[in-house]
Structure 1
Amino acid sequence: MPIKSAVFDAYGTLFDVTAAAREAAGEPGQEALADTWQGLAATWRAKQLEYSWLRAIRGDHTDFWTVTQDALDYALEAHGLGDPALRERLAQLYWQLSAYPEVPAMLERLKARGLNTAILSNGSPGMLEGAVQSAGLDALLDAVLSVESVGIFKPAAPVYDLVNERFGGTKDEVLFVSSNGWDVSSAARYGFRTLWVNRAGLPVDRMPGTPDTIHSDLTTLEEVL
């Protein structure tokens, strides 16, 4: 079946999750962060994912912004950064994360081919709206789908159900794209065709469901079409 919809994870796939820490580290008065921003960003992201998985397993759902702030508080304490003003600045910047450089042109090419384009994300609607608008991607996306409509985080199957509920068709008409190996594995097992954006050059996860295609970024995505 031909691919009719290209659906993207948001954080780490379209938007650079390290951008908030990196940008804050370059601002005046942030010398302490400048020495540790990479470690902080890594801890923040790891805890953000961990907390979402644990909440999904425990049936203890909350919105992703709460998860993101809890992960930030953990990361700041872990790296010895207790400045409330820094915490506020990092939280603010997370609502306007930079898109990866190749993203706008890639989405434009998909739209020119007549494909449906969408985000499917753990992010809360407000967070996603802020990131999409900040990156200027509004006109390039047909839908922004959030887990908040089903009340559980990925990789729960009801999240992936949202795609065909929105666009119709069959699972094998969907190309699901994510930079998260666990997300691609889950989407592949669900029945989507998948592309793993393996920006970090990591091994494939040893889990049921393997990516159909692996690229290092989104520049050459159309090759799979």
Structure 2
Amino acid sequence: MPVTTCVFDAYGTLFDVAAAARQAAEQPEFTALSTAWPQLAEHWRTKQLSYSWLRAVMGTYVDFWTVTQDALDWALEKCGLDGDPALRQRLLDLYWELQAYSEVPAMLKALKDAGLNTAILSNGSPAMLEAAVQSAGIGDVLDDCLSVEAVGIFKPDARVYDLVGTRFGCPRDEVLFVSSNGWDAAAAAHYGFRTAWVNRAGDPVDRLPAKPDTILTDLTGIPALAGV
């Protein structure tokens, strides 16, 4: 079956999650972050994901913005930067303005020009996703932003991936799902989607019941993979 629908994870896939820490570090009032920002960004992202998984297992769902703030507080304390409320607020403000990777607009436009459905499927709350899409200027090349808030549980629960078929009425094997998270791509493959893992860091493949169908280093190859 041909691909009719291309669905993307948001954070780390379309949007650079390290951008908030990197941009804050460039501001003269936050010199303490000038060398620590890569470590802070890594800790922030790692805890953001682990808190979502733990809350899913514990049955204690909260919106992703709460998870994001909790993860930042842990990361700031870990890096010894938890004594500056202004820095915390600036990092949170910047998270609503994350930069898209440079290849994203042209890639999405190619998919839309070819008549494919395009969407985001994310742990992010609707308000967070709307802000990121507007900031990146890609709203005109996306048909929808699907959030886990509709089902009240985080990825990789199958109910999250069900949102795609519910929205677009397409069978699983017509969906190309793209994520920068190896575990997310593996879970989507196990669910029945065609999958591409955008492995920008060159990480090993996760040892899980399924593996991504394709591994890429960025998003430029997605249109060809979708048959465009």
TM-score range, shorter chain: over 0.9
Deviation at 1:223, TM superposition (A): 2.3
Q: CA separation in 2, counterparts of 1:90 and 1:204? A: 31
Distance 2:163 2:29 in 1: 44
Q: Secondary structure in 1 aligned to 2:89? A: helix
Query: Helix, strand or coil for the counterpart of 1:119?
Result: strand
Using the alignment, how far apart are the partners of 1:132 and 1:111 within structure 2? Answer: 16
Match of 1:84 in 2: 85
Query: In structure 1, what is the equivalent of residue 40 of structure 2?
Result: 40
Q: State the partner residue of 2:215.
A: 214
Partner SS state of residue 29, structure 1: helix
Partner of 2:180: 179
RMSD, matched Cα: 0.5
Residue type of the alignment partner of 1:8 = F
- CA–CA distance in 2 between the matches of 1:169 and 1:122? 21
Kindly state the Cα deviation for residue 35 of structure 1 after the two structures are TM-superposed.
1.4
Shift of 1:169: 1.7
Q: Distance in 1 between matches of 2:170 and 2:33?
A: 48
The alignment status of 1:65 with 2:47, answered yes or no, reads no
- Cα distance in 1 for partners of 2:94, 2:9 equals 19
- Supply the distance in 1 between the matched residues of 2:52 and 2:197 (Cα, whole angstroms): 20
2:115 aligns with 114
Aligned to 1:129: 130
Distance 1:159 1:131 in 2: 20
Cα separation, 1, equivalents of 2:76 and 2:206: 29
**TM-score calculated relative to the size of structure 1:** 0.99
Q: State the match for 1:201 in structure 2.
A: 202
Q: Quick check: 214-223 or 181-190, which moved more?
A: 214-223
Q: Which runs of 5+ in 2 are unaligned?
A: none
Deviation at 1:124, TM superposition (A): 0.4
Q: How many angstroms apart in 1 are the aligned matches of 2:91 and 2:21?
A: 6
Query: 1:220 Cα shift?
Result: 1.4
CA distance in 2, matches of 1:86, 1:203: 34
Instruction: Give identity over the alignment, percent.
Output: 68
Report the alpha carbon displacement of residue 221 of structure 1 after superposing the two structures with TM.
1.2
- Could you say which residue in structure 2 is the equivalent of 1:19? 19
In 2, the alpha carbon distance for the partners of 1:52 and 1:75 equals: 15
SS at match of 2:98: coil
Instruction: Give 2:178's aligned amino acid.
Output: V
- Secondary structure at the aligned position of 1:117 is classed as strand
Distance across 2 between alignment mates of 1:124 and 1:220: 28
Q: Give the TM-score taking structure 2 as reference length.
A: 0.98
Deviation of 1:209 after TM superposition, in Å, equals 1.1
- Tell me how far apart the structure 2 counterparts of residues 195 and 52 of structure 1 sit (CA, whole Å): 22
Per the TM alignment, residue 43 of structure 1 is displaced from its structure 2 partner at its CA by 0.2
- Any stretches of 5+ residues in structure 1 without a counterpart? none
Which amino acid letter does the alignment assign opposite residue 80 of structure 1?
G
Further displaced range: 117-126 or 214-223: 214-223
Q: Which residue of 2 aligns with 1:140?
A: 141
Q: Corresponding residue for 1:188?
A: 189
Aligned residue for 2:29, secondary structure, equals coil
Take 2:24 and 2:113, find their aligned partners in 1: how far apart are those partners? Answer: 36
Instruction: For 2:28 and 2:170, locate their aligned partners in 1 and report how far apart those are by CA, in whole Å.
Output: 51
In 2, Cα distance between equivalents of 1:169 and 1:92? 37
- Report the AA paired with residue 77 of structure 1: E
Runs of 4+ in 1 over 2 A off after TM superposition: none
